[in-house]
Amino acid sequence: MESGKGKVGEYFVCLNNSFFFINALRGKDNTFIFADISQYRPVFINSNSMALEITDNNFASILAGDTPVVIDFWATWCGPCRMIAPLVEELAEQYKEKVTICKCDVDSNDALAAKYGIRNIPTLLFIKNGEIQDKQVGATDKATLEEKIKALI
């Protein structure tokens, strides 16, 4: 839709190294004039995630497996969650034969988050034989997560 100042529509943009669809007015000089900054919708580019998606429906079967499990409780709107997401993906690839690394979106799977008493995100649970062995609340570095995974296996 054209307006007197430019074109109104939905645009795919990169802001602070994150990708979003935004509703905006783009000026004739190609600068954006945001119509509503709260209308950002995050876009996740990596569809080949190594970490499994764990949900309220499949968590029992994942935990019943023979390998230890790491669950990353996160949300799309959580900055620290997005910050550690690449680390979780790297570790999922690195330890894919030894540990099952899963991601649980707390907004879509509230029963699972409630089951484990998740109040802050990101929270990573390190589970072996159905029992929580360790927990990481908040963002951290790869070395700390790797140390906890090594202790689990």
- Which entry of 14, 78, 102, 104 is annotated as an active-site residue? 78
Question: What amino acid is encoded at 131 in this protein?
Answer: E
Let me know if 81 is a catalytic residue: yes
102 is catalytic: no
The residue type at 85: A
In angstroms, the CA 150 to CA 55 distance is 25
Q: Give the whole-angstrom CA distance, residue 40 versus residue 11.
A: 10
d(CA 41, CA 43): 6
CA 149 vs CA 11, 64, 68, 95: distances in Å = 40, 18, 9, 9
Contact 3/25 with Cβ under 8 angstroms?
yes
DSSP state of 47: -
Q: Which residues are catalytic?
A: 78, 81
